[in-house]
Structure 1
Amino acid sequence: MTSRVSAAPTCDCEAKCVIFISRTKKNPDRPFFRCPYYGQIRKTHCDYFMWEDDFIASQAAMVELQETTIERKMEAMIIQMNKDMKAMKIQINKDMEAKINELKRDTEYKFNILEREIEAMTFQISADVVAFDIKHLSLGGLKGSK
């Protein structure tokens, strides 16, 4: 008996199997797993048996299956993330467009207010100039008549 493999199958007794080396002519020095209770007088045992290379092959197949499953899940996640990013881009563009339109309306409104204020100031300045001219003309005319 040897312990060169760290992973071992579980037998029908739900115990971790022990590795043995075959001494037969058909399978010389070939490692195999067996129930740890096999050959013990006081313990009952199951008839579990598996060649080490078959166990390693089955473990490799399980790892490959797990890798395939993980790859598929990752691919599905990537597809979903791409869909989510596309939806977020669309929403961001809509939000930006709405904000731009809001800023345009606000700017146009403020511009219109400024235009009216400028027109009112221009009118007031014109009225003040006319009033000033009238005042000075009438004062000048009065001075000249004396």
Structure 2
Amino acid sequence: MTRALMLLIVVAAASSAAVELSPCKLALKPAHENFANVESCKLQYKTELDKFISNTKCTHLPYDVATCDPLLYNYSKCALKFIGVLKPDNTVDDVAFQKILLQNKCSKDTNFAKAYPTCKSSTMKYLNVVQFIECLDKAVP
């Protein structure tokens, strides 16, 4: 019985260590939530957001970039500006994004650094921050 209990403790310790997430990984979810919950932008772009939510091409896989990203563009621009990470040319200020949304918790993560340019170029034509953060999330342990 004691041996079985010790084995369970070892297995539990190993499994809890295996699911320990990096500070960067832990910063991505709140970043997503902060971006997705800018109420003034939600109200202003409600019609476009409703079209996005009601379109199965946007809510089911495979995600249709050409159809869905333009529906999010105005909300994204509004939210990024509200948060303080949108540059005057309507692109994301990378330094501000990492400082404000991620609280610099990803600045030392090599997986994040490697994935950032690829994720940005593949998702930010229409400022799809949700897809951008999801891409980063997949790259960071």
TM-score range, shorter chain: under 0.3
Please tell me whether Structure 1 or Structure 2 has the larger radius of gyration of its CA atoms: 1
Higher strand content, 1 or 2: 1
State the TM-score, normalizing by the size of structure 2: 0.22
- RCO comparison, higher one (Cα < 8 Å, 6+): 2
Name the structure with the higher helix share: 2
